[in-house]
Each structure stands twice: as structure tokens, then as C-alpha cells.
A and B are shown apart, each in its own frame.
Chain A
Amino acid sequence: MNFWIIQILNGVSFGMLLFLLAAGLSLIFGLMKVLNLAHGSYYLLGGYLGLTVLRFTDSFLLALLGAALGITVLGILMERWFLRRIYGEPLRQALLTFGFLFIFADIALWIWGGNPQTLPKPGPFTGSIRMGAIVFPSYRLLVIAVGLVIGVGLWWLQEKTRLGAMLRAGVDDEEMAKGMGINVSLLFTVVFALGAFLAAVGGIMGGVFVGVYPGADFEVLLLAFVVVIIGGLGSLKGAFVGGLLVGLIDNFGKALVPEFALFTVFVPMAVILAIRPTGLFGRA
């Protein structure tokens, strides 16, 4: 019994992290049809920036806010100065964002060096919670909580606010939305900024237990892709369910059949691609 409780908690906490990583990617693709390959860089730079702020201020909250804001600005600049020029040209977008991925990786190496680092845990969450024979790191519970809060927040934003309505209109029919007087150009920038913001939050929350190091950007990008392929590109609900599903399957796969650990993340993806190519909640 204890084994199952711990594994479920593990799976859910990892799944929430995956959700944070995938939400931004999915959101941006849903509205703008841009597959932002530099998404992994936002994670990496977010983590590093958080580390730096943390060193100067000793406050995890400030690090979270500072890094997330910094990366949001970076996202806005990228959208305004670069991506804006090539909307509707998927090949160029892929090349451009892929190029950014490499440039940011080199800049990070230059500034922060190549040694792997982790962000220290915020004060109240350094220990582990013990219940009988169960020992579970309390920080992971925080990750679950943050994931839930952000999930609910995004749902509220999308379903209950005017911005969300414009967003949904933009996703459904961009031309018509423009015709209705929605400032789609501004909307694009806002969504891009939000996507970058979410990835940076993932970088800090994840930087604590996954770490930040050269190459993390590619690994995170891969995981985010798996999640959005399962959940469906462009769907927030898909990112949430996909993240949880991958987190749980991966965790139980590794715990129960470690011989197949390399595939546990990719098996569900292959199955979904075979029976429902658009993902669980995606639309063709």
C-alpha cells in the first residue's frame, strides 16, 4: 500500500512539472500555430536566472518572480522582433526558434558555466514528510500545489475572462476574430509572453529537483513535446491531462519494469499517435 501511495505522489508531482513545461508550448501553438523550439531555453534561462536572483536576495519567491518576469520580457522581444515577421511560415519558424535554442544554450554556458546546479529549496519545504513508513519530500507536494493553482488559473483565464474569450475566438477563426475588432497582434504578444512565463516558472520549480545544466533545454523540450502530443497540441486541458498521464505512466513503468525505463515515456505517445493522431483533446 505504502509503495502505491508513494508512487502515485511521485507520478503526480512529476506530472505537474510536465504540465508546467508543456502548457506554454501548447498555448502558443494553439493560438499562433508557432511551434516554439526555443521553449526549452526559457526553462533553462528561467532556472539560471532564478539561481542568480536567489544568490543575491536569498528569497525563493523573489527568484521565482524575477526570473519569470525576465523570461517573459525575453519572450515579448522574440515575438515582436523576430517571429512577427514570419507568421504563417512554419519552416522558417522552426529554423529561427531552433537557432535561438542554440544561441541561448551558448549564452547560458558563457554566463553560468557548464557545471550542473540545483536551486536550493525554499525554506519551509526543505524537509520530508513522514507518515508511518512513508517518507515524501515536502517540496514535491509544493510542486503539486503550484501545478494545480496554475492549472486552475489558466482554466479560469481561458473560460471566464474576456481575454480568454478573445483567445478562444482567435484559436477558432483568426480572420473572423480580426473582423470582430479583436487586436490579434496584441493578443499574440500576450500569449507568447504567457507561454514564456509558464516555462520559466517550470524552470524554477523544476530546477529544484531536476536541476539546471547544459542540455536541460533539449531534454525539457522533448518531454514537453511528448506531453502535448498525448494531450493534443493547442489544448490546455490536454497539457494538464497529458502531463499527469505521462508522469504516472513513466513513474510506474520505471518502478515496476525498470528494464523498459527508456520507453516508458514514449510508449503512451506511440499508442496515442496510432489510435488518435490529434491527441486526447486536440482538434484536427
Chain B
Amino acid sequence: MKVRNERRVTVGFITLALLTALLAPPVVQAQEPVKVGFIYPDAGTFAQPGLDMRDGFLLYWGQVGNKAGGRAVELLLENKGTAKADEGLTKARKLVERDKVHILGGVISTPVAYALRTYVVEKNMPTVIMNAGADGITQKQKSDYMFRSAFANSDSSHPLGEWAYKQGYRKAVIMAMDFGAGYEQIGGFARTFIEAGGQVIQEIYTPLDAADYAPYLTSIKREADVVAVFYAGAGALRFVNQYAEFGLKGKIPLIGKGYLVDEVILPGLGDNAVGIVTSLHWSAALDAPANKRFLEAYAAKYKRPATTYAEQGYVGAQMIAQALEAVKGNVENREAFLAALGKVEVDAPRGKVKLDAYHNPIHPIYIRKVEKKGNELQNTVIATYPSTSQFWKWGPDAYLAMPPYAEMKGKWAK
């Protein structure tokens, strides 16, 4: 009896020891937080978009108590001068090599995104781009490690071209800021507009820092049915106001990409903006419960209205959280985590967002019209293109066989 008892105790001990050994690593692992590095600019031209993107990102993590997939999530924010390629890369190196982050996110400007691309591939680092829109990142330069919560430059331009043709516009003048994003943003419009049967009669590209649009506005061909443009930031503010000043408002309809009448510059545009139609993947006036909740929570926390950049940061956090849930917090299994990130389907403020095989969102695109509601201006949604792909109706293969928009600059006008 005694011997048997001792044996039983021994067996019990061994079993216990084995169990502990088996259980121990997951327990220790669960206590160590998932580290997410976030890169954004907080100075210079892109400061405000950077801050908005950050605050949207933080808002979501605050709402879920900085936890996902059963693990705590630690956020490491890197700012200062991250609008430039080399500086963004330096910050990424610091986050990856010194802080040992598991995931990278953020990134406002395209040069930073391209600079990061080679690096994150080399380091196998899952990266969620929450603004930088260069088409290439999720098209010809697609990578297994880069994902998007925001947009590709031309993805919301395609619907606008078709929409414009359906309104009866046949001759368009296109204008854009003279840089990569400008060609893609306006090229997407030109391609679908021409494919529908429309004609581009004039192309004008203006220097990024053009202080005055007067010389361009006064040389727009007056026989145009519509002027389609891409302007953003201070340039948009000047453009819309000067368009009205030179008597073009009311003569030739002005349409473009949503940045032209971004919610933050609407107050500075006043009545000059009323009637302008633009396309984008979001509007603050979008009447959807998820958007309402997002807008209210953001305004309550930060005492300022949310922007499209804030929404993109928020969606980026939603995507990371959902992928972490899917792998039960085991971000160390990188293969599984990357696969989970590619399969996310989130209920974003803008609507349903999932990713295509190139990691760009398939999401609703809204055609919005600036209207006055009470004393405030807003981008009222007048048409919705649900589940829109960056490849529009062509599909990836046919689309990628066409020349990229940068090469088409100057070749649209007939």
C-alpha cells in the first residue's frame, strides 16, 4: 500500500510538473503586451492630419481598454518630422529594433510609406498604413506585410468619373497638384470618365506650393461642362475661394476629390463651397449608426470634430484588434497574424471594410455634395458606390495591365 501510495504521489507530481511546464509559456506570454508602433507627423504641413490620425487610433484603443485577443496592447507613438522618408525610416528602425514592436501603423505621407516598404519586408513586420495613398503600395508594389485601413489614391476617383458622365457632363477640364498623388487622384477620374464616353479637353497641373491660382483659373477653357480637380489642404482653401472670385462658380460646375471640401476647411470656404460635388470613402455627414457613435465619441474625448484622417486611424486600430482576436493574441505567430490581418472585416464608421488580395480596402465610396444645414456646411451623401475595389470594374489583372496614372499625365486631353 505504502509503495503504491508513494508511486501515486510521484506520478501525481510528475503529471503536475508536466502540466505546469506545458501551461507556463502561454501564461507568461499573455502577460507581455502586444507592442504596436505608430508613426505620425506632429509638425509641419502634415501636422493636423497626423494628430487626427493618432487621436482616432487612440480613441479605439481607449474604447476597448487597450486589450485585444486576451492581451494588453501597448502603444508606442513616434512623431516629429515623420513626414520625410529618411526620418520616417529612422523612427521605424527605432520602433522595430530597440522597442521590439510586433506591429507598425500610422504613416501620413507616401514617401515614408515607400521608404518603409523595403524595410518592413526585410524585417517581416506587419504594417498597417492609415493614410499614405500611393496606388503602388497596394498594386504593383504590393507586399505581404503592408496593409491599408485608408485608401489608394485613385480608388474613390473611379466612381466620380462614371457619376459625372451620368450627370450629362461630356467635356471636362481636369486640374491637380503637380505630384504623384495628383496624377493618381485625377487620373482615376479621367480614365472612367473617358471610358464612359466623356472627353477631357484640358489638363492643368499646378505646382504644390502655388500661392495664387489666378493665372490657371483664368485660362480654363470656357466650353467645359465640368471642372474636375484634386486639391488638398491650404491649396484647396485657395482654389475654391479663387474659383468663385473669378466668376467661375455658377458658370462651370466644380467637382473633385473629397479633400477639396474637407470638413476642416469648409468653414473657411463659406458659401463658395456650396454645390461642389466630391467623392471620398467617408463623410462626416454620413448617416450611419457606426459613424454617429464614432463622431460623438471623438468629439467628446478631443473637443474637436473628427476628420477622415481620424476615421482612418480608428479603422486601422479596429483592423489590428480584430486580427489579434483572430489569433487569440498570439502575434508571435507572424504567418497566422498576417493571414488574419488580410481577412479582417470591420464595421467601420464609413461602412463595411474588408481587404482585397492586394491589401487595399474594399469599401463604400460616397458621392457628396456641399450643402448648408442651418449655419453649418456639410458634405451630404447623394450617391453611394458600395464595396468599391481599387480595381473598379476591371479586376486586378486588366487594371494592372493598363499604364499607371503617373505615366498618363498629359495624355488624357484630346
Contacts and interface: CB of A to CB of B under 8 A. Distances in A.
Interface string B28-65: 00000000000000011111110100000000000000
B212 A210 contact: yes
A90 B236 CA distance: 39
B94 to A, nearest CB: 22
A215 interface: yes
B48 A14 contact: no
A261 B246 CA distance: 20
Given A214-B47, A215-B44, A251-B214, A258 B268 contact: no
Given A219-B209, A261-B206, A115 B265 contact: yes
The bracket for how many chain A residues form the interface is 35 or more
Given A128-B245, A128-B247, A261-B178, A118 B237 contact: yes
Interface string B262-285: 001100101000000000000000
A24 to B, nearest CB: 18
B241 interface: yes
Interface string A97-135: 000000001100100011111101000000010100001
B168 interface: no
Interface stretch (A3-11, A78-86, A185-193, A228-236): A3-11
Given A214-B47, A262-B178, A115 B264 contact: yes
B204 interface: yes
Interface in B80-128: none
A3 B216 contact: no
A168 interface: no
B48 to A, nearest CB: 3
B43 A109 contact: yes
Contact of B212 (A14, A136, A213, A253): A14
A114 B218 contact: no
A131 to B, nearest CB: 11
| Residue of A130, A223, A254 with highest tally of chain B CB at under 10 A | A254
A128 B207 CA distance: 26
- Which of the four size classes fits the interface of chain B? 35 or more
A137 B242 CA distance: 8
Contacts of A213: 45, 233-234, 237
B43 A3 contact: no
Contact of A114 (B47, B209, B210, B241): B47
B43 A14 contact: no
Contact of B210 (A140, A215, A255, A261): A261
B27 interface: no
A106 B245 CA distance: 32
Given A109-B43, A214-B47, A14 B214 contact: yes
A138 B219 CA distance: 19
Nearest to A102: B43
A128 B237 contact: no
Given A117-B268, A130-B247, A7 B218 contact: yes
Contact of A105 (B43, B178, B211): B43
B237 A211 contact: yes
A86 to B, nearest CB: 27
A3 B219 CA distance: 8
Contacts of A115: 48, 264-265
B51 A216 contact: no
Contacts of B233: 116, 213
B26 interface: no
Given A10-B214, A211-B234, A118 B209 contact: no
B82 to A, nearest CB: 14
Given A115-B264, A117-B237, A130-B247, A214 B44 contact: yes
Interface string A245-284: 0000011111100100110000000000000000000000
Nearest to B212: A14
A135 B246 contact: yes
Contacts of B45: 114, 213-215
B205 A210 contact: no
Centre residue among B215, B242, B246 by max chain A CB count within 10 A: B215
Given A7-B215, A114-B48, A211 B245 contact: no
Interface in A123-169: 128, 130, 135-137, 139-140
A3 to B, nearest CB: 7
A116 B204 contact: no
Contacts of B369: none
B158 interface: no
Q: Give the residue among A116, A137, A209 with the most B Cβ atoms within 10 A.
A: A116
Nearest to B263: A115
B123 to A, nearest CB: 31
Contacts of A118: 237-238, 241, 268
Contacts of B210: 254, 261
Contacts of A139: 245
A10 B219 CA distance: 12
Given A10-B212, A14-B211, 13 more contacts: A3-B218, A10-B215, A14-B214, A116-B234, A118-B268, A140-B245, A250-B215, A253-B215, A254-B215, A255-B215, A255-B218, A258-B205, A262-B207
30 contacts: A3-B219, A6-B218, A7-B215, A10-B212, A10-B214, A13-B214, A14-B212, A109-B43, A109-B47, A114-B45, A114-B48, A114-B51, A115-B265, A116-B233, A116-B264, A116-B265, A118-B237, A130-B247, A135-B247, A140-B245, A211-B268, A215-B45, A251-B214, A254-B210, A254-B215, A255-B219, A258-B205, A258-B219, A261-B178, A262-B207
Interface of A: 3, 6-7, 10, 13-14, 105-106, 109, 113-118, 120, 128, 130, 135-137, 139-140, 209-211, 213-216, 219, 223, 250-255, 258, 261-262
Q: Which 8 residue pairs spanning A and B have beta carbons closest together? A: A114-B48, A135-B247, A116-B234, A114-B47, A137-B245, A255-B215, A254-B215, A213-B234
